[in-house]
Amino acid sequence: MTQDDDLRKWAQKQKKLFRDLDANQIKIVKEILTKYPSLAKSDSDTPCADPFVIALAIELARDPQKTLDPTIKKRIVVSEERLHGSRVKIPLVCKEYNIDCITMIEMCRSEGWKF
């Protein structure tokens, strides 16, 4: 069993953490990939979630009615990628759509988690 198998089993049990795609998210993904086609690497054997994660953040930022917690107004994407010039990575696309993008360490700090 690989780590991917373990992750897949775990994810299948976490139904509340995931949302089904809707037509608006697909529209946003198409818009993102039209502007940034290299965000979804065509030479990869595995699906690329990056544009879908960003699309969900954009959709929720535009329509606060869709959130599970109506007190949350800001949408933040967590990624270990870094903004490097004009290389197309998650932080660059988030910046273009006015979505904050932070690292896992930054998220832990902002949430006040202690280890």
Q: Tens of pLDDT along 5-32?
A: 888 888 888 888 888 889 999 999 999 9
Residue 8 lies in a domain: no
Distance CA 31, CA 109 (A): 33
**The pLDDT value given to residue 85:** 74
Residue 1 lies in a domain: no
What is the count of structural domains for the chain?
A: 1
Residue 80's domain spans which residues? 21-111
Residue 84 lies in a domain: yes
| Contact (CB, 8 A) for 55 and 40 | no
Residue 101 lies in a domain: yes
Report which residue type is found at 108: C
Residue 51 lies in a domain: yes
**The pLDDT value given to residue 60:** 85
Q: Tens of pLDDT along 30-71?
A: 999 999 998 887 666 667 889 999 999 999 888 766 666 666
Q: In this model, does residue 96 exceed pLDDT 80? A: yes
Write out the two tokens for 55. 């699309």
Rounded CA Rg of the chain: 15
Q: What is the pTM of this model?
A: 0.78
Average pLDDT, integer, range 80-102: 89
Distance CA 14, CA 28 (A): 25
